[in-house]
Amino acid sequence: MDYRNLGASGLKVPVLSFGAGTFGGSGPLFSHWGTTDVEEARRLVDICLEAGVYLFDTADVYSAGASEEVLGEAIKGRRNRVLISTKASLPTGDGPNEWGSSRSRLIASVEAALKRLGTDHIDIFQLHAFDASTPVEEVVSTLDRLVQDGKLRYIGVSNFSGWQIMKSLAAAERHGWTRYVANQVYYSLVGRDYEWELMPLGRDQGLGALVWSPLGWGRLTGKISRSKPIPAESRLHGTADFGPPVENELLYKVVDALEDIAAETGRSVPQVAINWLVSRPTVSSVIIGARNEEQLRQNLGAVGWSLTQEQIGRLDAASAVTAPYPHFPYRRQEGFARLNPPIAG
């Protein structure tokens, strides 16, 4: 396992981390992800630690807190061997203060997460979405106080736009508060929007990407291609509307390239897709999920080897789409490109 700094921080994280969204699964979305109980979770944690994967990601909305509870039980007795990443801000109830990032909500959310996880601190705490109803100064100052109190070690965001991140970072810079060092983002071979604005921002501002859904919301498993429709047992039938959309032709082009390279390397389609992500600029860690030991071991096989530059180029070409305005002139026109050369293919 390789290890990288999380953004501009000194925290070392493994290039693969484990997503605990499958733990304690319940509800219309998370029950499709997985229903891993405490005993099964302990076994998956064992396998991760043996492989050098010690970062585990969860959130308070995953199965109404059950994911955090199961993870807390699974790491009991070995808290000093793991890093915990969790998130808050999305609604956890119908009350007016059960959503968002107000001072009251953040303090209550952190205290509740600490209790569910059975720990006295969270290593990486991220806002799960931008709260436009709360001033950024209130949000960032509250997070800074929680860091000073020792309840949070590092902070970050997830699902923010570029201007939302920069407004928050500017407030932190202005007041000397703790800065974000992590950006948990959707990024895959069938979803490269991260590259247009958030990747350059991450490089400039020292934000390390923690990548969620590296297999395109379950589409890059090798079970779907031009000649293979979505299997009857696929979770996509129940979860596709919750995740990022993908045009079929783009999916098929990417899978065609993945299948060719998988055959050349003796690796699986998911392993090739994850390996491509590990090589991308600003990526600190790719979050892998697994409902059982076999899936986990397969995903762990995505590292410890490298694609050739020629193979990376083929995957880049197969997954390329036209950038949205105002980004496309910088890709297409020489004068624009000279001013801001792209940092990714």
User: CA 231 to CA 86: how far, in whole Å?
Assistant: 32
4: Cβ contacts below 8 Å, ≥ 6 apart: 12, 13, 15, 208, 284, 285
| Annotated catalytic residue, options 54, 62, 180, 186 | 62
| Tokens read off for 160 | 């923010």
Helix segments in 176-268, DSSP class H: 198-205, 236-239, 248-265
User: CA 87 to CA 185: how far, in whole Å?
Assistant: 13
What DSSP designation does 23 have? B
Q: Which helix (H) or strand (E) holds 185?
A: strand 182-186
Is the Cβ–Cβ distance between 177 and 171 less than 8 Å? yes
Angle at 190 between CA 188 and CA 193, to 5 degrees: 70
Which of 120, 58, 48, 54 is CA-nearest to residue 82?
54
Is 62 catalytic? The answer is: yes
Crossing angle of helices 248-265 and 309-319, in 10° steps, is 170
Is the Cβ–Cβ distance between 287 and 57 less than 8 Å? yes
Q: Give the SS3 label for residue 126.
A: strand
- Residues serving a catalytic function are 62
